[in-house]
Chains A and B, each alone.
Chain A
């Protein structure tokens, strides 16, 4: 479990292997949902996750690789590309500025 403080997230990275498929789809959704919250949402290949990210979400199978790239940034793995309950919790925490355990 990781505790995420929604109010501290300013840059959220959606990572996938190539950064051209699934991460693009999810990043587009999150960008829309977080547009009003001043959060930068970007998609990235796992190997190129920027070090100044506040939070990384990625497919469960890629989470360990993501942690290896940015050991100091919380990495939240998801199972479903769209409508994953963990991702929904994070979005709500950022929107409300609250903390959440995921």
Chain B
């Protein structure tokens, strides 16, 4: 995927590397607000994300969670987009220590390649560590750019 497509989905202003949250639902709410801020969803999507998190956790391992809405919440999605919020102090996620949240709003499949790449990162402990310790947006873009294959 070209870098242009990646920056369409994940705008630079949606990469926030120095966040703090009081708890996991606060972190999810911040991801939702960030998606609303870039016009990817309306406010009701934030509630759908909170609802989803309370029914099934979106923790995916390696200190990463991928908050997103429910099937019903898809109606509040205006376009496919991702946000990356980093919590350097960690957020307690039902006993797991989460450092990075990748918030997702998706009505279509535009985000599939990036999520596959995220899976690759999570299966590689060294890459996962680089994601958890990223301090500028370019490092995040570099990690999330899908491999050519």
- List residues of chain A with CB under 8 Å of any chain B CB: 17-22, 24-26, 28-29, 31-32, 45, 47, 59, 61-62, 80-83
Q: Residues of B contacting A82 with CB < 8 Å?
A: 60-61, 119, 122-123
Q: Residues of B contacting A26 with CB < 8 Å?
A: 119
B28 to chain A, nearest CB (A): 12
Chain B residue with Cβ nearest A26: B119
Q: Looking at chain B's contact residues, is the secondary structure mostly helix, strand, loop, or mixed?
A: mixed
B5 to chain A, nearest CB (A): 16
Known: A25-B60, A59-B56, A81-B61. Is A20-B69 also a contact (CB below 8 A)?
A: yes
Chain B, residues 111-126, CB within 8 Å of chain A (1/0): the string is 1110110110011000
Of B13-21, B70-78, B87-95, B130-138, which stretch is located at the interface? B70-78
Alpha-carbon separation in the docked complex, A26 to B123 (Å):
11
Is A17 touching B119 in the complex (CB atoms < 8 A)? no
A/B pair count, beta carbons within 8 Å = 68
Instruction: Count chain B residues whose beta carbon lies closer than 8 angstroms to a beta carbon of A.
Output: 25
Alpha-carbon separation in the docked complex, A47 to B74 (Å):
14
- List residues of chain B with CB under 8 Å of any chain A CB: 52, 55-56, 58, 60-61, 66, 68-71, 73-74, 104, 106, 109, 111-113, 115-116, 118-119, 122-123
A22 to chain B, nearest CB (A): 7
Given contacts A21-B58, A24-B116, 4 further A-B contacts (CB under 8 A): A20-B106, A21-B104, A47-B71, A82-B60
Q: Residues of B contacting A83 with CB < 8 Å?
A: 61, 123
Is A21 touching B68 in the complex (CB atoms < 8 A)? yes
Q: Residues of A contacting B119 with CB < 8 Å?
A: 25-26, 28-29, 81-82
In the assembled complex, 9 residue pairs joining A and B whose CB atoms fall closer than 8 Å, in A order, are A20-B104, A21-B66, A22-B58, A25-B60, A25-B115, A29-B123, A62-B56, A81-B119, A82-B61
Is B116 touching A18 in the complex (CB atoms < 8 A)? no
B129 to chain A, nearest CB (A): 16
Q: Residues of A contacting B73 with CB < 8 Å?
A: 18
Alpha-carbon separation in the docked complex, A29 to B109 (Å):
16
Alpha-carbon separation in the docked complex, A51 to B65 (Å):
31
A25 to chain B, nearest CB (A): 4
Alpha-carbon separation in the docked complex, A26 to B118 (Å):
10
Alpha-carbon separation in the docked complex, A81 to B60 (Å):
6
